[in-house]
C-alpha cells in the first residue's frame, strides 16, 4: 500500500493508504497546500464533489477543512475499498459520502448542486471533454472547479482558469465563473 498525508485541518498529518492502480496519481502535498491556500483554509458549509476520488486525498482534505459534505465517487473496487478503510481510520466523518460508480453516470443522476468540484481524471483518456457539458447542472452559480490534467486548461464551459500551476508533469487549475 502507498500513503499520502492530509496537510491541514482536523485530520492534519493523518496518513491515507491506497493501492497501486492504473492512472491513480494522488495530488502531491505541495499542490494540495497551494490549492487550499487559493480556496481559503476553511471550507465550512461547502458541498464538495471529488469525482475521481482515487486516494481520497482531495476529498478527505476538504472534509478535514470543514466542508459540510464531500461526495467521493470511485469506480475501481480495490481503490473504493481503500477509501472505505480510510473513512473508518478517520472515525467515519459524517460529512463524507463514498459512492461506488462511474463519474459520467453520477453527474447525470445527481440532483445535488455543488460549491466545489475536484476533477483529477485519468490522463490521456478524454475525460475533461466528456465532463465539460455535464458540469453546469451540478454546480452552484458561484462554484469553483479544481482540475488536474496533463496539459493547461483555459476554460471549461463558462468557468475560466483564475489560478494555475505546474508540478512535474501535472498542470493544476482553479476555475471560476466570471462575475
What is the DSSP code string of 1-19?
Answer: -EEEE--SSTTTTPEEEE-
Question: Hey, what domains does the chain have and what are their CATH numbers?
Answer: 2-176 (3.40.50.150)
Q: What percent of the chain has pLDDT over 90?
A: 81
Query: Cell numbers at residue 78, please?
Result: 480495490
pTM of the model: 0.94
Q: Is 52 exposed, middle or buried (0-12, 13-18, 19+ CB in 10 A)?
A: buried
Task: Summarize pLDDT for 20-35 with one digit per residue, the tens.
Answer: 787 777 777 889 899 9
Task: Summarize pLDDT for 87-107 with one digit per residue, the tens.
Answer: 999 999 999 999 999 999 999
Amino acid at each position: 500500500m502507498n500513503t499520502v498525508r492530509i496537510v491541514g485541518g482536523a485530520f492534519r498529518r493523518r496518513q491515507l493508504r491506497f493501492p497501486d492502480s492504473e492512472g491513480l496519481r494522488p495530488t502531491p502535498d505541495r499542490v494540495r497546500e497551494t490549492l487550499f491556500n487559493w480556496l481559503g483554509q476553511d471550507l465550512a458549509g461547502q458541498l464538495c464533489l471529488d469525482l475521481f476520488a482515487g486516494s481520497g486525498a482531495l476529498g478527505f482534505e476538504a472534509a478535514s477543512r470543514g466542508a459540510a459534505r464531500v461526495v467521493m465517487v470511485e469506480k475501481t473496487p480495490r481503490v473504493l475499498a481503500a477509501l472505505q478503510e480510510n473513512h473508518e481510520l478517520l472515525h467515519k466523518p459524517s460529512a463524507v459520502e463514498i459512492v461506488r460508480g462511474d463519474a459520467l453516470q453520477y453527474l447525470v443522476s445527481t440532483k445535488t448542486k455543488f460549491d466545489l468540484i475536484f476533477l483529477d481524471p485519468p490522463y490521456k483518456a478524454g475525460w475533461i471533454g466528456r465532463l465539460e457539458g455535464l458540469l453546469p447542472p451540478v454546480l452552484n452559480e458561484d462554484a469553483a472547479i479544481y482540475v488536474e490534467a496533463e496539459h493547461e486548461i483555459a476554460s471549461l464551459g463558462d468557468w475560466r482558469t483564475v489560478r494555475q500551476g505546474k508540478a512535474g508533469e501535472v498542470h493544476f487549475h482553479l476555475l471560476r465563473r466570471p462575475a
